[in-house]
Amino acid sequence: MSHHILIIEDEEKITDFLRRGMVFEGYRVSAAHDGPSGLAIARESPPDLVILDWMLPGMDGLEVCRRLRSVGPVPIIILTARDSVADRVMGLDAGADDYMIKPFSFDELLARIRALLRRAQPQTAEVLKFADLTLDTGTHQAFRGERPIDLTAKEYELLELFMRNPRQVLTREVIFDRVWNYNFGGESNIIEVYVRYLRQKLEQDTEPRLLHTVRGVGYVLREE
Ligand code: CA
Residue 150 one-letter amino acid: D
The Å distance, Cα 5 to ligand 1 centre, comes to 18
Residue/partner pairs of 38-41 with CB below 8 Å, 24 or more apart: 38/6, 38/8, 38/64, 39/64, 39/67, 39/68, 39/71, 41/6
User: Are 52 and 38 a contacting pair, CB within 8 Å?
Assistant: yes
What tens digit of pLDDT does each residue of 180-224 get?
A: 765 555 556 888 999 999 999 999 988 999 999 999 899 999 998
Report all structural domains of the chain as residue ranges with CATH numbers, in order of start: 4-119 (3.40.50.2300), 127-221 (1.10.10.10)
The Å distance, Cα 87 to ligand 1 centre, comes to 16
What tens digit of pLDDT does each residue of 128-152 get?
A: 999 999 999 888 899 999 999 998 8
The Å distance, Cα 218 to ligand 1 centre, comes to 37
The Å distance, Cα 54 to ligand 1 centre, comes to 7
What tens digit of pLDDT does each residue of 75-116 get?
A: 999 998 876 667 777 777 777 888 888 888 898 999 899 888
